[in-house]
Structure 1
């Protein structure tokens, strides 16, 4: 993958840890210049510093997807250094949002999940579009929970279903600008954000995949690099499940 994104400037949200951090490392190794965004400011700065030590050009910009003003401010800072070539909408509220029956789900938590995961993705995309050229790429990170209907995870599953639908609508609208918009749907991945997930759910995935076993962040990197790259210049509005065959699309 070396050189696949050479010279490209890529923004990745939720980049302080987990999948976002893995995407950043892979994109940097592929030659991209990175803008890393996250609400977790200290881990974000540490991730950027580590990548810089590895010879990867990485800038850290704090962002809060629940706050429209924070998003506007972040992209005003990003724009000061020129345009961008790609955006990975990875940030989402995932920890502590499941394990409750739909009949007992807290309304305020539901609203918070939708505010961050759905509205936040829209607002980040809206802020990024003026910085993207023809041939620019947006990759939205959904989840295969929206494909198989994961129980006791209603708000998160609904938010990721919305991401899939938004991807298709955005692809139609932004096609006039020559911008490609696609989504990936990872399966349950072994990262910090999924440490709270019951082992029974991990076991369900790990034994139910066509490619059995635990999914690691690195298993998802290739799909993101592909969709950001010139190899996907005529691909838009598509959903790519990356889950080892737990769900077929």
Structure 2
């Protein structure tokens, strides 16, 4: 008798799912057997991407979310939970990467700093807060926060982004301690520089630095990270919480 897909029966919400890492996460999670709601501020694009997966036979739907607006977050989570009839997992992938590789410490302005923090840090907190009651009800909830290995090695010229991802690492530990009694596991994945739309404008010198500095010397692709996400959403990781897993080909060792 063939075994069921590893995420069969799971109900997962993925933010930032219209493109890049979030889109790849959503597809891989659906392929692993889960029902997925893809959430993004890019309303038309996330609907289009969800429809492509639906046409392939996957149980996927889409919802619009603005991580800078609490009301939008709550409405999106309510819609997702209604669509899925509950929630087993959350992937907090949505983030602003504005300024990656482009602004020095002295060049950052308060508006850009505040926008990055509002979306990447506050938005992650608010989405998690809205999802926790439903994850608790599932009996074995999973939260994956997507950080970045830039916060592990102190990448220059993108301080707001690095600071926001450092905050995600710290938040994950605190959330894991708070939510463990509710049988909710909270972990972080810290990807390296990955070839997605958000990194197209990163200077070539930064791409070259990553490739030459990796133990596995090649460009990183979105699919390099999917297996880690699936593992952390599955029952196989039911005793793993508060951890950060760098997935970067050995550029940074944890």
Number of corresponding residues: 249
Q: Distance in 1 between matches of 2:139 and 2:215?
A: 38
- Structure 1 alignment gaps of length 5 or more: none
Q: Distance in 2 between matches of 1:77 and 1:100?
A: 37
CA apart distance, 1:2: 6.7
- Structure 2 alignment gaps of length 5 or more: none
Please, what TM-score do these two structures have when normalized by structure 2?
Answer: 0.96
> Closer, same or farther in 2 for the Cα pair 1:2/1:187, shift >3 Å?
farther
1:39 to 36, 41, 45: 41
Matched, 1:156 2:158: no
Matched, 1:180 2:185: yes
Q: Distance in 1 between matches of 2:129 and 2:211?
A: 37
1:75 to 69, 74, 77: 77
Partner of 2:30: 28
1:229 to 228, 234, 247: 234
Please, what TM-score do these two structures have when normalized by structure 1?
Answer: 0.98
Contact 1:210 1:245 in 2 (8 A): yes
Partner of 1:134: 139
2:149 to 137, 140, 144: 144
Once the two structures are superposed, what CA deviation does each residue of 1:38-94 show, in whole Å capped at 9, x if it has no partner? 001111011100000111111100000011110011112123232111000000001
CA apart distance, 1:98: 4.3
Q: Distance in 1 between matches of 2:98 and 2:29?
A: 25
CA apart distance, 1:95: 3.3
Please give the residue correspondences for 1:182-197 in structure 2 after superposition, counting only pairs within 5 Å: 182-197=187-202
Q: Distance in 2 between matches of 1:97 and 1:31?
A: 34
Partner of 2:62: 60
Partner of 2:106: 103
Contact 1:142 1:161 in 2 (8 A): yes
Contact 2:192 2:248 in 1 (8 A): yes
Contact 1:186 1:242 in 2 (8 A): yes
1:5 to 7, 16, 27: 7
**Secondary structure at 2:39 match in 1:** strand
Q: Distance in 2 between matches of 1:235 and 1:18?
A: 26
Once the two structures are superposed, what CA deviation does each residue of 1:169-219 show, in whole Å capped at 9, x if it has no partner? 000000010000000000000000000100000000011100001000000
CA RMSD after TM alignment: 1.1
Contact 2:100 2:157 in 1 (8 A): no
Once the two structures are superposed, what CA deviation does each residue of 1:136-182 show, in whole Å capped at 9, x if it has no partner? 10000000000000000000000000000000000000001000000
- Superposed structure 1 runs of 4+ greater than 3 Å apart: 95-98
CA apart distance, 1:97: 4.9
